[in-house]
Chains A and B, each alone.
Chain A
Amino acid sequence: MEGRSGGMGEGRGREVGGGAEPELELESEPAVAAEAVMSVQVVSAAAAAAAKVPEVELKDLSPSEAEPQLGLSAAAVGAMVPAAGGGDPEAPAPAAERPPAPGPGSGPAAAAAAAAALSPAAGKVPQASAMKRSDPHHQHQRHRDGGEALVSPDGTVTEAPRTVKKIQFADQKQEFNKRPTKIGRRSLSRSISQSSTDSYSSAASYTDSSDDETSPRDKQQKNSKGSSDFCVKNIKQAEFGRREIEIAEQEMPALMALRKRAQGEKPLAGAKIVGCTHITAQTAVLMETLGALGAQCRWAACNIYSTLNEVAAALAESGFPVFAWKGESEDDFWWCIDRCVNVEGWQPNMILDDGGDLTHWIYKKYPNMFKKIKGIVEESVTGVHRLYQLSKAGKLCVPAMNVNDSVTKQKFDNLYCCRESILDGFFHETLGTVKISFPEIQAQRGRICLRRNQAQQTRSWVVSASIKAALCRIAPRAPGASPWDPVASVTPLNVLKRTTDMMFGGKQVVVCGYGEVGKGCCAALKAMGSIVYVTEIDPICALQACMDGFRLVKLNEVIRQVDIVITCTGNKNVVTREHLDRMKNSCIVCNMGHSNTEIDVASLRTPELTWERVRSQVDHVIWPDGKRIVLLAEGRLLNLSCSTVPTFVLSITATTQALALIELYNAPEGRYKQDVYLLPKKMDEYVASLHLPTFDAHLTELTDEQAKYLGLNKNGPFKPNYYRY
């Protein structure tokens, strides 16, 4: 994905994989001639050092071993039981730093009873927990309120001691992006990748005052073990962050299996990994997996707005040197990275990067250290692009793995992530936050993710799109009813008409771009009954769209009639002011591509147009004649701003990263040269196989005879390198 010069045009049909014999396991040479911009090397299974990889015996985490689905970890449960088995609910529990109890003893009298009720129920784990924000006594203390409402299996709601923890969190919406779903190809003149400062402009306007104004750099904090080798917003949020991590662990079975499987042998013993990715619950699971496999990690954030402060706190609490908080300045950003790298007596030997900034920093500032790195694992398009450039200039002196273009990332992350989150983003933004009571949650299978509702300044549990669709059919409650009545409701700030489950059905939608992201979006929208048009520049993708049953149009042809415009091209200025002028009233415009250049938002900031902030991430832009269009997330990545991405899909990518690190770290000298590699196919297959148990999928094995007939090894790889899935 680069400017390919001349050679491609006419006759350079030589494909790297094409020369390779499909069923033999060769190590292909760098097969491209000098004129190629990049060399893509494919390391075959023979080279894969992870010989142990295919013999993994997976077992599902049995429910008894698993942490409780939602809610408190065992540690927290234990912490909530007063050490003396009763008595003062205000007593700080051991092994956790507790802030002093807030103000008046607002804890319910039942706190002690509840705690006692919990202690014999170590096996009867609380089913769910949430902020008890509805208690009329404590409306004014929403933020300071540490109470937990627990639903025991028989449905009764009890409350844990309020003072056990006090959770504070910033009010602005979580804006984070797990992976860039599609990144425009940016020039490299910027020293900081655009993705790391993305969402700056509007987040700033959203930010209410944080907990306090001091920068974490100036704070002296210690975790409970007394270490201060970290820098997070507020270490006291650790408990809550821990719970988030546990929720994520439920949906990331592969990483947990990897932990168990490899924990004996510690394949990363001696690895010193410096990482720069988003810091979220899901990546925290990855980091802790790496730690469990023997690595020492130091971590910074790759995006100044994507860090979940409580997760960073939880990581710091468990001993990780983490340097990240939400709302860093650009200066902070580099400071954090530097703190990871520039440490007395500790030199990294592996890099895990997302966006290329960390690699860039080390390469520029610590070239000696760079030379000693054993391997780089890069997962974003931008970072990969930079690595290829380095490699081309002959300056890459370290082997690097390109995770972005592995099968698992391309075919699963981009496709299924967007398929799930396109609807999620819409539901969340246009339907509003749906508050669900716990009996509802218990009744439904589904993924539960946390959402922030800025306007209400509360936490609410919001279920993913699949459940939302069902819940749309439930009638709204009368105003004033308790939120814990077993129905769902819609927040009153929903300016758009409350929609029914026919929201997408019958709507005309145009999706610009039919790459993996576009394919996912179109599939989801079509399944919901929309009439979907596609625009494309690439004839092959266009033909795929045609054959999948979508009309292939130019944007101009349909712009007047569509109800929703979605861009996912990786390009810039796909939707221009002209298009916006011609859209119909109430047309929704949003972007699923990584860069925020796809919709020309700047062209809307003219005097004659009025902007109305309807709610966080939703703007109405009003023309003089009264026409309005609905712009989501100011044209930024929709699932960065307005939804989350399914944890399970992230699990696939995270497992790929972990395996790539293990592979690079353990490879014998000289196995990998100073170049950018794609993952061996066997590794891709292993990652996929780790995720199959979640679906209760039973893989068939080849008999010896069949394996011989096909010329394959029973353990894979099963397909040639150029196979496109």
Chain B
Amino acid sequence: MSMPDAMPLPGVGEELKQAKEIEDAEKYSFMATVTKAPKKQIQFADDMQEFTKFPTKTGRRSLSRSISQSSTDSYSSAASYTDSSDDEVSPREKQQTNSKGSSNFCVKNIKQAEFGRREIEIAEQDMSALISLRKRAQGEKPLAGAKIVGCTHITAQTAVLIETLCALGAQCRWSACNIYSTQNEVAAALAEAGVAVFAWKGESEDDFWWCIDRCVNMDGWQANMILDDGGDLTHWVYKKYPNVFKKIRGIVEESVTGVHRLYQLSKAGKLCVPAMNVNDSVTKQKFDNLYCCRESILDGLKRTTDVMFGGKQVVVCGYGEVGKGCCAALKALGAIVYITEIDPICALQACMDGFRVVKLNEVIRQVDVVITCTGNKNVVTREHLDRMKNSCIVCNMGHSNTEIDVTSLRTPELTWERVRSQVDHVIWPDGKRVVLLAEGRLLNLSCSTVPTFVLSITATTQALALIELYNAPEGRYKQDVYLLPKKMDEYVASLHLPSFDAHLTELTDDQAKYLGLNKNGPFKPNYYRY
């Protein structure tokens, strides 16, 4: 998205007029049309949006930390990037009301709502599945009576999800799962639309928990569904409000970290609520991780370094879904790609797809770009960095920032030069430079965006999981962690086909009988790997 220059705030008279526009806009906000709001003066912080939709690959962390690492990720360098925001006052101390007079929210600046609304509309264009879900289910309101407390990134795309849930009848209270990922204007737009949102960009850790608590701990309102990303909300409710936890009908978790925590709980016998693991659904694994990274690796590298890919030697560490996506994109642009892998099956896939499988040591001197996506730690060590050639680019597409040993570069003899936002040159005494992107953090969190369409798939999956858990009869789901039913995965996929003008073939009765399948699916056994 383009970044117009910062402008002063509008005057008061204009504000009233715009408030009316906002109201009108709100009435039609659930339709996928563009509102006729006047041009607003838009002000926003200058730093790049750092956000991740979903952890693309997360290492399995120990549970001794009470807050998941992903929620405080990007702290160190964002702090150095942030110019002064609109003001220095913490939103917690501000009294804001939206145009309806409610102050049941806490965002940076409610006046940004208009701009946020436009962002949401842009996102809606590419999230046709959620919109069609709204239309389809709006009559019956499958989430009527649902009280959802959510903790995900707050961005235009997730805002479409939140508003879809509301359109389906739910009441939502939302906070952010990452202290830096909130788009303030989107939060404002949501608050304006009446969703109880508690989030802003640049929270402190204390703020983080305060926001979560405001969502959960409200008089006269008790959550009965949880939508979580990272497991922090679940953790909070489980620890602080065990009674509330017991009454939850279902948890929908979408990150690897959160799923890991749920499995641990389940194993310890302490999970008293059914949970859905969205992270390991087909749609998430096979689409989000793969295609997201395929699109965003090039985006991230181009935006930060303007590197030409043709003829460059690139080593990609890891050939999971993220690695597959990255390699495909790089190969398509003419790069020479090497792979490192620990898993022989993935290594064999890489071989058969035409990539050389090497050890990092073998190619480190000759490659131009190093990309890590293993989920592991210390894949690229100081030794490797010492041996890289001049101007080698190093970046990370894995979720955790432990893949590249960045701290090993903070030694006296190396000079760090901030070239541009998210790009550092690390200079050796002999003049050699290494280009480090995003300080080793997730590249598409910091340096690019992710395709909205792919997020649409995941968001639709989450919505359907919520509907499923909410409406399931008593006893259908036990206190365990479930994967999505395949029929649901298929439904999500089918909602996205119209964007491609794809025409699905239907089985004839004869064929359905021959194959032993139901015409409406599911079409594959559970262990089918796509």
Contact = CB atoms under 8 A, between A and B. Distances in A.
A65 B506 CA distance: 56
A546 B497 contact: yes
A376 to B, nearest CB: 19
B343 interface: yes
Interface string A645-683: 000000010000000000000000000000000100000
A697 B347 contact: yes
Contacts of A689: 344, 347-348
B276 interface: yes
A269 B472 CA distance: 54
Contacts of A201: none
B482 A13 contact: yes
Given A40-B527, A537-B504, A537-B506, A542 B493 contact: yes
Interface string A675-716: 000100000111011011011111111110110011100001
Given A14-B482, A18-B481, A540-B282, A725 B345 contact: yes
Given A697-B356, A698-B362, A700-B340, A405 B500 contact: no
A185 B345 contact: no
Contact of A724 (B375, B487, B516, B530): B530
A723 B281 CA distance: 10
Given A19-B480, A543-B493, A2 B344 contact: no
A407 B376 CA distance: 23
A553 B497 CA distance: 11
Nearest to B290: A547
Contact of A709 (B60, B317, B345): B60
Interface string B232-275: 00000000000000000000000000001001101100000000
A554 B60 CA distance: 44
Interface residues of B, number: 90
Interface in A394-426: 405, 407-408, 410-412, 416
Contacts of B494: 539, 542
A410 B285 CA distance: 18
A709 B376 contact: yes
B346 interface: yes
B349 interface: yes
A227 to B, nearest CB: 40
B527 A678 contact: yes
Given A538-B490, A551-B502, A554-B505, A684 B345 contact: yes
Contact of A2 (B357, B508, B525): B525
Contact of B341 (A2, A15, A700): A700
B502 A710 contact: no
Interface string B209-221: 0000000000000
Contacts of A14: 480, 482-483
Contacts of A408: 345
Nearest to B317: A700
B497 A539 contact: yes
Interface string B480-519: 1111111111110110110011111111101100111110
Interface stretch (A160-168, A314-322, A569-577): A569-577
Contact of A705 (B360, B378, B516): B378
A720 B483 CA distance: 13
Contacts of A543: 287, 457, 493, 496-497, 502
A20 to B, nearest CB: 9
A697 B341 CA distance: 10
B510 A573 contact: yes
Interface in A533-580: 535-547, 551-555, 557, 570-574
A651 to B, nearest CB: 11
Given A11-B485, A537-B507, A695 B530 contact: no
B511 A572 contact: yes
B59 interface: yes
B504 to A, nearest CB: 6
Nearest to A545: B502
A701 B345 contact: no
A710 B522 contact: no
Contact of A685 (B343, B473, B488, B503): B343
Contacts of A92: none
Contacts of A405: 527
A573 B508 CA distance: 9
B472 to A, nearest CB: 5
Interface of B: 59-60, 260, 263-264, 266-267, 276-277, 280, 282-283, 285-287, 291, 317, 340-352, 356-360, 362, 375-379, 402, 457, 468, 472-473, 476-477, 480-491, 493-494, 496-497, 500-508, 510-511, 514-518, 521-530
12 contacts: A12-B485, A13-B276, A412-B349, A541-B523, A542-B497, A546-B497, A573-B510, A574-B511, A685-B343, A695-B351, A699-B342, A706-B379
Given A13-B468, A546-B497, A652-B348, 17 more contacts: A11-B473, A13-B482, A14-B480, A21-B263, A411-B345, A411-B529, A538-B521, A538-B524, A540-B490, A543-B287, A554-B505, A695-B357, A697-B347, A699-B347, A699-B357, A700-B342, A718-B343
Interface of A: 1-4, 8-19, 21-24, 38, 40, 184-185, 405, 407-408, 410-412, 416, 512, 535-547, 551-555, 557, 570-574, 597, 652, 678, 684-686, 688-689, 691-692, 694-703, 705-706, 709-711, 716, 718-720, 722-725
